[in-house]
Chains A and B, each alone.
Chain A
Amino acid sequence: MKGMTVIVKTIASWVKVLIFLFGIYIIIFGHLTPGGGFAGGVILAGSYILLMLAFGREFVEENLSLPVASKLDCVGAFLFALIAVLGLVFGGVFFANFLYQKYLPGRPLELISAGIIPLSNIAIGLKVGASLFLVILSLSVCCKEFRPEASVSSDQKTMGDRG
């Protein structure tokens, strides 16, 4: 059987949704409450890393494979740069807050307010989450490849397959 015990698998499959939802909340409410793109992205990556620890690497790679994660990473970086360039086009300055009070009235302390700040938070959250997930995935692939074949018993083999 791949992964950890049934207890860990069950708890992880319940908790993963809550962690993912909390990450999305931290990103979307980044301009109102403490948090933002960086913290929320780390939490998003954390939900996938929990899945990887509980169910094994292959299970996670079926859901979010390495090429898809790297594409998400690039999309996040591209969106953030695009917001900056749009500020140059519409607001006159690189990173100008062109949406605020011009195209998007929104009072302060409302969810839709603050112009480009929530959009930047979403882009950064996508980028950071995909990046951290990529790091863990690459390291686990690398560790699997580097395992010395001579000293591997059957017991160690199941342990190595978890990561």
Chain B
Amino acid sequence: MTIFYILLAFMIIAAIVAVETTNLLSSIICIGAIGFGASLMFLFLRAPDIAITQIVVEVLGLIILIRATIARDLTFISGDREFFGVVVSVVIVFLIFLAGVEVFETLPEFGAPIFAQTPGAASQTYIEKGLRDTGAANIVASVILDYRAYDTLGEATVLFTSIIGATVILRERARKLLEEPQL
């Protein structure tokens, strides 16, 4: 339980630094730290699939944001690496490695799903009652469109919003407006 408080404090400090700092690049790196903290939290909550999704989204978002920032204000690293910075990063990487080892020992073994060990698990209920409750022979369809339809609504909303953004930015009228800024 203490690990959650440590991660929470880490994420809150990173959020405060991200808001307060004047350097755009360090602000973005702090936002990345929040995301990686969240993915570590998912890992400790025994949800490795969500942790992997979170880390992939975080890495992609971080790369895009850093690329967008570097194009604005060019920052070059001059001189040698600082000794203190190297020590801190090595220690943090080692700590995260230890946390990962700790987490993967608590996960069930490969080929022994978790609903076989804990009675009354949600997935066991879906497999037993899915056909009777929803009438769908494909259990995946019965989960994503009946039991967990909220998830699907969220995914559809994300897709819809991103398409709106893409079409608004890339449409021809926006190009014409850029050429004639007086409008």
Residues of A within 8 A of B (CB): 30-36, 66, 70, 73, 77, 80-81, 84, 94-95, 97, 100-101, 106-109, 113-117, 120-121, 124, 127-128, 131, 134-135, 138-139, 141-142, 145
Contacts and interface: CB of A to CB of B under 8 A. Distances in A.
If over half of B's interface residues share one DSSP class (helix, strand or loop), that class is named, otherwise mixed; here it is: helix
B135 interface: yes
Contact of B134 (A117, A135, A142): A117
Given A31-B142, A31-B145, A138-B171, 17 more contacts: A33-B138, A36-B141, A73-B160, A73-B163, A84-B149, A84-B153, A100-B134, A100-B135, A106-B135, A107-B135, A108-B135, A116-B145, A117-B135, A117-B142, A120-B145, A131-B159, A138-B166
B175 interface: yes
30 contacts: A31-B138, A31-B141, A31-B142, A33-B138, A36-B144, A36-B145, A66-B167, A73-B163, A77-B157, A80-B153, A81-B153, A94-B150, A95-B150, A100-B135, A107-B135, A108-B135, A109-B137, A114-B141, A115-B134, A116-B146, A117-B145, A121-B141, A121-B145, A124-B152, A124-B156, A127-B159, A134-B167, A138-B170, A141-B171, A145-B172
> Top 9 closest A-B pairs, CB basis?
A114-B136, A95-B149, A138-B170, A31-B136, A114-B135, A142-B170, A131-B163, A31-B141, A117-B145
Q: Which interface residue of B135, B140, B160 has the most chain A CB atoms within 10 A?
A: B135
Interface of B: 131, 133-138, 140-142, 144-146, 149-150, 152-153, 156-157, 159-160, 163, 166-167, 170-172, 175
Contacts, number: 102
B129 to A, nearest CB: 13
B161 to A, nearest CB: 10
Contacts of B149: 84, 95, 120
A113 B145 contact: no
A11 B107 CA distance: 50
A124 B160 CA distance: 11
A37 to B, nearest CB: 8
Q: Which interface residue of A116, A128, A131 has the most chain B CB atoms within 10 A?
A: A131
Contacts of A116: 145-146
B18 to A, nearest CB: 30
Given A31-B141, A95-B149, A113 B159 contact: no
Contacts of B145: 31, 36, 116-117, 120-121
A29 to B, nearest CB: 9
